[in-house]
Amino acid sequence: MKHARVVYEGKAHHAVERDGRLLLDNGRLVSEDAVTWLPPLPPTPRPRTILALGLNYADHAKELEFKAPEEPLVFIKGEGTLTGHRQQTRRPADVQFMHYECELTVVVGKTAKKVKRDDAYDFIAGYTIANDYAIRDYLENWYRPNLRVKNRDGCTPLGPWLVDAANVANPMALALQTTVNGQLTQSGNTRDMIFNVPFLIEYFSSFMTLQPGDLILTGTPDGVVDCRPGDVVVTSIEGLGELINTIE
């Protein structure tokens, strides 16, 4: 099932996709254009921790002229970075290069501590799409993104749907792509991750407890380009939908 969080007539609602429309928790069936989209996460439990992978596709590491990592390169993001489908993300006036990052995002479903790789999928509630924008101008270096790169308000659109894990047959074989103003600029597949989802669940839970609602952003393949004000960026992943964002 595809779940969403939206605002309709001034009130927040849980919604599910129903034949191209939204069935709200009050029984109303409304158009997708009639709502304001929020990140597709329930109000509780809220994400306690947002973990994001850097250089988790070998082709992206090569694109940035870096050696592929031998251990996950991870940074933590604040919840204030998240924004919804069809929202805007600000490009600061002084920057020279700001790019999207289309990422499969794992939503943790239950407390996970010292989970074995073979059991990892049992701890996942579902999957969504993140577009984790980065500003190259602000990087201290590629391995340690600083706060201005990855923790700006509204710099990470998330959505449009949270798709139940049971409805994603193989999260490690999903085509993903990005278009800018309708032009295809990025194309890849989750099978090309260096560290796949089961590995990451085992890795993180070996030294920290993952809680329901925690998010894991799993990195992006190559094909990132500079995005300018007015650009419409669509990041899509097979079976999870199309996440639309506009640069302001």
Residue 154's DSSP bridge partners are none
My answer on whether omega of the bond before 45 falls inside 30° of 0, hence cis, is yes
Looking at the fold, whether 91 and 120 belong to one and the same domain comes out as: yes
We report the CATH number of the domain holding residue 241 as: 3.90.850.10
Output the pTM of the full model. Answer: 0.94
Q: What's the pLDDT score for residue 198?
A: 98
How confident is the model over 60-99, as pLDDT tens digits?
656 665 666 789 989 999 999 999 999 999 999 999 999 9
- Say yes or no: 18 and 88 in one domain: no
Percent of the chain with pLDDT over 70: 94
Q: Please tell me the predicted confidence (pLDDT) of residue 98.
A: 96
Give pLDDT, residue 6: 98
28 and 138 in a single domain? The answer is no
Give the pLDDT confidence of 91-148 residue by residue, as tens digits.
999 999 999 999 999 999 999 999 999 999 999 999 999 999 999 888 776 555 677 8
Given this model, what pLDDT does residue 61 score? 55
Q: How far apart are CA 185 and CA 150, in angstroms?
A: 22
113 and 61: one domain?
Answer: yes
Collapse the DSSP code of 167 into the 3-class scheme (helix H, G, I; strand E, B; otherwise coil) and give the result.
Answer: helix
Q: 193 and 106 in one domain?
A: yes
Q: Quick one: 31 exposed, middle or buried, by C-beta within 10 A (0-12, 13-18, 19+)? A: exposed
Q: Are residues 117 and 188 in the same domain?
A: yes
Secondary-structure breakdown of the chain: helix, strand, coil percentages, each rounded to the nearest 5: 15, 40, 45
Long-range CB pairs of 179-185, under 8 A, 24+ apart, other chains included: 179/233, 179/234, 179/236, 180/100, 180/225, 180/227, 180/231, 180/232, 180/233, 180/234, 181/231, 181/232, 182/232, 185/223, 185/224, 185/225
Dihedral sign (CA 89, 124, 236, 185): positive
pLDDT computed for residue 31 by the predictor: 97
pLDDT of residue 242: 98
* Cα angle: 192, vertex 220, 120; to 5 degrees: 60
Query: Residue 114 pairs with which residues in a beta bridge?
Result: none
pLDDT in tens, 190-239: 999 999 999 999 999 999 999 999 999 999 998 899 999 999 999 999 99
Domain that holds residue 8: 1-38
Same domain (yes/no): 157, 76: yes
The DSSP secondary-structure symbol of 63 reads H
Q: Which residues contact 68 (CB under 8 A, 6 or more apart)?
A: 55, 58, 61, 62, 194
> What pLDDT does residue 48 have?
84
Half-sphere exposure in the Cβ direction for 187 (13 Å, CA): 3
Q: Are both 54 and 169 inside the same structural domain? A: yes
Distance CA(203)–CA(195), nearest Å, equals 10
H or E stretch covering 158: strand 156-164
Q: Are 87 and 21 part of one and the same domain?
A: no
Same domain, 142 and 190: yes
**What integer pLDDT is reported at residue 107 of this predicted model?**
97
pLDDT in tens, 147-194: 788 889 999 999 999 999 999 999 999 999 999 999 999 999 999 999
Query: What is d(CA 214, CA 150) in angstroms, rounded to the nearest whole number?
Result: 17
Q: How far is residue 221's CA from residue 176's CA, in Å, rounded to a whole number?
A: 9
Q: Could you give the CA distance from residue 55 to residue 29 in angstroms, rounded to a whole number? A: 41
CA dist 66 and 58 (Å) reads 9
User: For the chain, how many structural domains are there in total?
Assistant: 2
- Using CB atoms within 10 Å of the CB of residue 134, give its burial: 0 to 12 exposed, 13 to 18 middle, 19+ buried: buried
Mark whether 114 and 74 lie in a shared domain: yes
